[in-house]
Amino acid sequence: MTEQVVRFVGVPERIELDDGIVIRRYVAADVPTIVAVVNASLDHLRPWMPWAQNPVTDETQGAWFRETDPQWDDGTNFVYGIFSAEGRLLGGTGFHVRNGPGVLEIGYWLATDAVGHGVATRTSAALTEAARAVPGVTRVQIHCDEGNHRSGAIPQRLGYTLARVEPREPQAPGETGRHQIWTFDV
């Protein structure tokens, strides 16, 4: 049996938070900024992000942008940058479409110097709210390794429920292999 492709339309391309932080779809011109910010944050990203094991380049991130950007129009993956009111790239976030019908999964990472100010929590709150307005979405999820306490604190702060913990082959060096699935019904 072929697996049904899940697609969503109506995901907003830009969300502005009260304090001027802008969550927006990336454009090609963001690639050099992404490269600079990721490389400056590698030590903090490496334990948890499989794609941040080695320095990235304009070529690797350009290829990543060319792969992910059409997925937005396809309705199968939605990747955003998080920008300060002054336009500084603070981190990345997005909705993954990989958990079956009705489900959007929020992912996030922050630059080292953006950690500790509630940026990821407020971004995830805004994305959870935005998901409510997307036709067909019934549930939002956040997945993280049990050892990633800063990440797990985010769904906890937002009132998500820990639905289950599954074994999963570690994909980054900090992972324990116990994969938490937090859910929020919208």
Ligand X SMILES: CC(C)(COP(=O)(O)OP(=O)(O)OC[C@H]1O[C@@H](n2cnc3c(N)ncnc32)[C@H](O)[C@@H]1OP(=O)(O)O)[C@@H](O)C(=O)NCCC(=O)NCCS
Chosen residue from 78, 109, 182, 184 binding ligand X by CB under 6 A? 109
21 - beta bridge partners?
none
Residue 159 CB neighbour total at 10 angstroms:
10
Residue ranges in 142-161 that form contacts with ligand X under rule CB under 6 A: 144, 148, 150-151, 154, 157
Size of the site for ligand X (CB under 6 A): 21
Residue closer to ligand X (CB basis): 39 or 75: 39
**How is residue 142 written in tokens?**
């956040």
Residue ranges in 16-55 that form contacts with ligand X under rule CB under 6 A: 44-45, 48-49
First to last CA, the chain: 30
Residue 95 CB neighbour total at 10 angstroms:
25
| Angstrom distance (rounded) from CA 23 to CA 17 | 8
Residue ranges in 58-97 that form contacts with ligand X under rule CB under 6 A: none
List of residues contacting ligand X (CB under 6 A): 44-45, 48-49, 108-110, 115-122, 144, 148, 150-151, 154, 157
